[in-house]
Structure 1
Amino acid sequence: MNRDPAPHHPLVQRLIDARRVSDALFSVVKPEYLYERPIRERHRIVFYIGHLEAFDRNLFDERLCPLPAFAPELDQLFAFGIDPVDGGFPTDQPSDWPSLDAVHDYANKARKQIDERLAEFEFGSGGMSTGSPDQLMHVAIEHRLMHAETLAYMLHQLPLEMKAAPQDAAPKAASARNVECSPMVRVSAGEAVLGMKREDGRFGWDNEFGEQRVQVEAFEIDRYMVTNAQFRAFIDAGGYGNRAYWNDKDWAWKEAEGVAHPVSWSQDADGKWMLRTMFNDIPLPPDWPVYVSHAEASAYAHWAGKTLPTEAQWQRAAHGVPHAPSGNYDFRSWDPQAVDATPDNVSTFGVEGQYGNGWEWTSSLFEALPGFVAFPFYPGYSANFFDGQHYVLKGGSARTAQCMLRPTFRNWFQPRYQHVYAGFRCMRAL
C-alpha cells in the first residue's frame, strides 16, 4: 500500500504523507494480532485498514471523480464509524471479518483506483466552497490523520508483546524533576473568538464555522497542565473514594467499572506507580501531564477547589500563542514530555503548552456554533454528537497532526472515556 500517485500536487502530496503515517501505525502491530480489539468501545484493528481507503473512495466517488465499485459489500462494511451503536459495545467476532489478505487486497485496489484518477485531476477550482475538490481533499487528509491519533491511543492499550517498536521509539526514562505545584496566572477580561467565518476561505470542519465572539470575565488558570505528581496527590488523598468530588453519573461509572486510577497507571509488586507508554512500562514521570477522562479531571478540580475552564475561557487564555509554537505534536514523539518543556509555547498571559503534549478537557458541552450547517457529504460528522453527552477538548497531543493545531479546531469525547491522550488544567474565577 505504498504506491504514490503522480503528479504530486501539494494536496496529493499531503495525502501521500498522511498515508505513510497510517501505514506506519499498522506496522506497529504484529500481523497475528490485527484482529484484536484493544478498546471495547472500538472496532477491531483490521477494520481501520479497510476503513481509511473506503472512506476516501466513498467520499471522492462522483464528487471528485467517478470511481466504479469493484467490491460494494466491502465499501459498505468499512464505511461505518468508530462509535458504538446506541451506547452499547460491539459484539462481532474475528471470524465475522474478511481475511487479512482480502482486506489488504481491497485497500490496495481502492488506493490504486483513487491514485489513477488523482494523477489526472487539476485542483484549485472552487476554493474551499462546499464540495469543492480542494475541500474534499482536505477532508480526506484530516480524516486519516484523526484516525492516526485514534489508532495510536487504541494501540497504546494493546499488550506490549503484541507490538513491534519502530526504531524511533527509544525507551523513555522517568524524569527526576517534580513539578509539584502549578502556579496560576491571571487572564484579564476580554473577548474570546470561537470558530471562523465561512468567507475567510480557510479549511475547517463543519463545527468550526460560525464565528462566535464571547466576552469573558477575568479569571486565573494553571500555567501548566496538571501533572502526574499532582494527580497522584489527589489519589493519595483518597480522591477516588470521596463521593463529594464526583457528580452522580461519574460516581456511578467509577463504581461500576472499578476505576481507581488513570487507565495507563499501575502499581508494581512494591507499590511503586508505573506508567504504560506505547512500548514500555516505566516509573511514573512526575512532570508529564496526566491523561484522564473528563470525569476524573472534574473530580480533581473539585478536590483542588477549582473548575475546568469553558471553551471560551481556554481560548481566551491561549491568546497570543505563536502561530507555529514549539511543542510536542505532529507525531514527533510517542510520549508526553514535561509540562514546562516549551517556554516559547506561551500565551500573552503566560499560559504554557496549550498546543501539543495532550488535549485539554473543558467544561463546555460540544454544541453547534451559530449558523451551523452540516457538510452534505458527511452529515453526521458533528451533528450526531450535539447530544449533550460530549465535551469539547482543545489543544492537541504528541500524536496530533500540526494542521489540526489551528485555534478553531474542536475535538470532543464522552466524559467517561479514559483512553484519549487528554489531560487538563484548572481555573478559578476572580
Structure 2
Amino acid sequence: MRKEDLRDHAARALTRARERSTALTDAVDDEDLVRQHSKLMSPLVWDLAHIGSQEELWLVRDVGGREPLRPDIDDLYDAFQHPRADRPALPLLGPAEARAYVGEVRAKAFEVLERAPLEGRRLTDAAFAFGMITQHEQQHDETMLATHQLREGEPVLHAPAPPSRRGGPLPGEVHIPAGSFVMGTSVEPWALDNERPAHEVAVDAYFLDTTPVTNAAYIEFLEAGGYDQPRWWSEQGWAYRTAHDITAPRFWRREHDGWRRTRFGVDEPVPPRQPVVHVSYYEAEAYAAWAGKRLPTEAEWEKAARFDPATGESRRYPWGNDEPTAEHANLGQRHLSPAEAGAYPAGVSALGAHQLIGDVWEWTSTDFHGYPGFVAFPYREYSEVFFGPEYKVLRGGSFGTDAAAIRGTFRNWDYPIRRQIFAGFRCARDAGHV
C-alpha cells in the first residue's frame, strides 16, 4: 500500500473508533459516566480518558517525539496500577475534561500521522502503531459496551435487529480432516505480538459444531438439570457455580412463560435461534460434557476458520482474504445482539463452519500462551504477563467487536469465570479414523 493510502487507511480507522467511543459515552449523562455500574468494570469516563492516555503515550510521545500533554495522569490511567474496583476513588478527569483531553490528543496524533515516515522502525512500519492504537480503542469500546449491558435503567443504545437465518437446516457438525496447517501470522501488518509468528501445527481429525450453540440447545441443558449435576462440571467449575449460586447464563431469569433476558435495558424472551451469550468457560465446558462433546482447542478452532483444503493455505478470514462486510459477519455494534445461527452464509469457512467471526466470542479449551518464537512487542504488558493457566483463549469476536480488531488469527483471553463479556461457544468431538 502506498504511504498516502496507508495514512488515509489509518486515519479512517482511528476516526471510526473515535466515533464509536463518542457514541458510547454521549449516550448517557455525566452522572452515568462517572458511576461504576459493576465492580468488574471501570466507570465509562475512566475508559475514555485511558484511551486518550494510551494514544498520547504511543502516538504523540513515542512515534511523534512530542512533549507530553498530561504526564501528571499517566499513573491514573495505567491499567496495571489500579484494579477496576478501585478506579472510582481516584482523582479522575471529569467528563468535560476527559473529552477535551482525548480531543487534543487526537488532533496531535493526526499531525504525527501526516509526518511520520511509516518505515524504519518496527513500531511505524505499515503504520503499526496507529493500527495498535485503533485496536486498543475498539477493544475498550467493546468493554464500554459490556458496561452498558451491566448498567441499570432505561435503554440508551439502539440498533436494528440482526438478520434471521434463511434457507433449509444446516448440518449439525462439519468434519475437519487430520493434517497440519499454518497457525498464526508473520505477515498481517497490524497483527499483535501474541498472533505471531506463523508456525505449522498438526491437528487430528475432529468434528466441530457448524454454528455456535444456540439458546434453544442451551435451554435443553438447563431443563435437563445441567446446573444441578456436578458430573458435568469440572471440579473448579462446580465450586464456582455453587459458591456463586449460578443457575443460568448471566442476565437470564425463568418466568412462568419461559426464559427471559435483559439486553441493554430491554426485557425480552430469550430468542431460541440466536447463539447463547454471557456464559463462562465453566458453563460452556459443562454443556459440552452433557452433550457428549468437548470444547475445541485453539488450534482446532483456527484450522476450521482459516484452512482451505483446496489450496492448503490459511486464509485471513473464514470466507477468504477480503475485509469483513455486513454480509460476512455480525461485527462493529451494528446490531446489539448475536444474529440467528446460520444467518451469514457469505461468511462460511472453506470447511463449512458458520459464524466463526462475529456474533459471540468462543471459548476454547486452550490456556493462553505464546507461540513458538514469540517475542513481546512493543511491551510485555500487552500479552506476555497474562501467559499461563489462569486464562483461557477466546476466538472469533462478537457483535461488539469491530472489524479492525478481529481476524482469523486474533486471540482474546480471559478468566474462565467471566460472564459479562459477549462470550458463547461451539463444541467439538474426536473423529477417530473417519
TM-score range, shorter chain: 0.7 to 0.9
Give me the TM-score of the superposition, normalised by structure 1. 0.87
Mapping for residues 103-142 of structure 1, pairs under 5 Å: 103-119=98-114, 121-126=115-120, 129-130=122-123, 132=125, 134-142=127-135
Does structure 1 residue 284 correspond to structure 2 residue 282?
no
Aligned mates of 2:170, 2:10 — CA distance in 1: 44
Aligned residue in 1 for 2:330: 328
| CA deviation after TM superposition for structure 1 residue 295, in Å | 0.8
Aligned mates of 1:111, 1:175 — CA distance in 2: 39
Give SS of 2:275's match: coil
Aligned residue pairs, count? 409
Amino acid at match of 1:302: A
Aligned mates of 1:173, 1:131 — CA distance in 2: 37
Aligned residue in 2 for 1:64: 63
Deviation readout 1:147-187 (Å, 9 max, x if unpaired): 111211221111132x5234xx24x599899x999712221
Amino acid at match of 1:246: W
Mapping for residues 30-45 of structure 1, pairs under 5 Å: 30-45=29-44
2:165–2:341 CA contact under 8 A, matched in 1: no
Aligned mates of 2:20, 2:117 — CA distance in 1: 23
1:160–1:280 CA contact under 8 A, matched in 2: no
Give SS of 2:62's match: coil
Aligned mates of 1:182, 1:257 — CA distance in 2: 36
Amino acid at match of 1:196: T
**Which residues of structure 2 form unaligned runs of 5+?**
1-5, 309-317
Aligned mates of 1:427, 1:405 — CA distance in 2: 22
Instruction: Pick the aligned partner of 2:193 from 206, 211, 217.
Output: 206
| CA deviation after TM superposition for structure 1 residue 39, in Å | 3.2
Aligned residue in 2 for 1:257: 244
**Stretch of structure 1 that moved more, 418-427 or 25-34:** 25-34
Amino acid at match of 2:152: P
Give me the TM-score of the superposition, normalised by structure 2. 0.87
Amino acid at match of 2:374: F
Aligned residue in 2 for 1:148: 141
Aligned residue in 2 for 1:165: 157
Aligned residue in 2 for 1:307: 294
Give SS of 2:10's match: helix
Aligned in 2, Cα 1:174/1:214: closer, same or farther, shift over 3 Å?
Answer: closer
Aligned residue in 2 for 1:3: none
Deviation readout 1:70-118 (Å, 9 max, x if unpaired): 4322232123259x75xxx623545753433333333333333434444
Aligned residue in 2 for 1:188: 177
Aligned in 2, Cα 1:342/1:117: closer, same or farther, shift over 3 Å?
Answer: closer
Aligned residue in 2 for 1:91: 86
Aligned residue in 1 for 2:313: none
The percent of aligned pairs where both chains have the same amino acid is 31
Aligned in 2, Cα 1:214/1:101: closer, same or farther, shift over 3 Å?
Answer: same
| CA deviation after TM superposition for structure 1 residue 202, in Å | 2.3
Give SS of 2:101's match: helix
Does structure 1 residue 346 correspond to structure 2 residue 348?
yes
Aligned residue in 2 for 1:267: 254
Moved runs in structure 1, 4+ residues, more than 6 A?
173-177, 179-182
Amino acid at match of 1:272: G
Aligned residue in 1 for 2:3: none
Aligned residue in 2 for 1:381: 382
**Which residues of structure 1 form unaligned runs of 5+?**
1-6
Instruction: Pick the aligned partner of 2:226 from 232, 236, 239.
Output: 239
Q: RMSD of aligned C-alpha atoms?
A: 2.7
Give SS of 1:281's match: strand
Aligned mates of 1:277, 1:80 — CA distance in 2: 28
Amino acid at match of 1:427: A
Aligned mates of 2:163, 2:262 — CA distance in 1: 12
| CA deviation after TM superposition for structure 1 residue 285, in Å | 0.3
Aligned mates of 1:99, 1:392 — CA distance in 2: 35
Aligned mates of 1:186, 1:104 — CA distance in 2: 50
Aligned mates of 2:7, 2:372 — CA distance in 1: 37
Aligned in 2, Cα 1:129/1:91: closer, same or farther, shift over 3 Å?
Answer: closer
